[in-house]
Structure 1
Amino acid sequence: MLAAFLSALTFQAGYNASLVSVGATLLGVAGGCAGSFMFLRKRTLVSDAVAHATLPGVCIAFMVMVALGGDGRNLPGLLLGSAATAGLGLLTVDWITRRTRLSEDAAIGAVLSVFFGLGVVLLTVIQTLSRGK
């Protein structure tokens, strides 16, 4: 077990194991840096809302790419869609806290649940498409 772990860390276990090792390392570093920053600023719930707000963007980007005749599994397109709805989610939280009497936590919770619910509905729609299976 230890030998397999060491061979994966030294990139001798093959391409897939090396790719997973590098990806997990980069994800851990990025998540640790961003998570520490958000924790120190007491904004950890915002990162959760942003993460859930990306789901409808991925779904919409997939459906747009399929409608334009593509495969729908284009990584830059999916990332662009997720970034757009994540930004929209942040702007929505900011707008709700500035324009209403709701606290920031309530606005974040509302945005998190609405965007994630919309994403689940869009996933259901995608499953009915011939390309979504």
Structure 2
Amino acid sequence: MTNVDEPQGDPSWADTYYEVWCPYEARILYNLGAFETPEDADEAAAVHNGQFTPPHDAVGTLRVPPLDGLLEQLTGDQLETLQNAALLVIGAREEAATLLSRAGVADSSDGFFGSPCHRCVCPQYQGRDETVCERISCRHSAAQHAY
């Protein structure tokens, strides 16, 4: 039995850290380094933003390790199940955004419940029952958007 009082580290998640994304430059600012806390990443983003007129809109983001290593270990049936689950997650996010928009709580286009691709800069998954995103510049799986 697992002792819940002890951390159950997963080595595949050991590469998780915070970094700075600048939409103006459309890239991660690797020259700023990696950060242990979101506050440190946000502080570095604020310093970066202040160096430009008009200021950039860089923000601290969580860097999640690639899903590819996990996908390689799955069987065909497991990959299909993951894909179906990812489509459910994306659909639920879209439905939640629509409900909030109708209630006047949030604009659904603001990405509040969006599913950005964790492999490229595609802003949101397109394609309901497709195995890959329909965006020509993306073409990644729903799982790569939803995990």
TM-score, normalization by structure 2: 0.32
Q: Which has the higher contact order (CA 8 A, sep 6+)?
A: 1
Give the TM-score taking structure 1 as reference length.
Answer: 0.34
Structure holding more helix per residue: 1
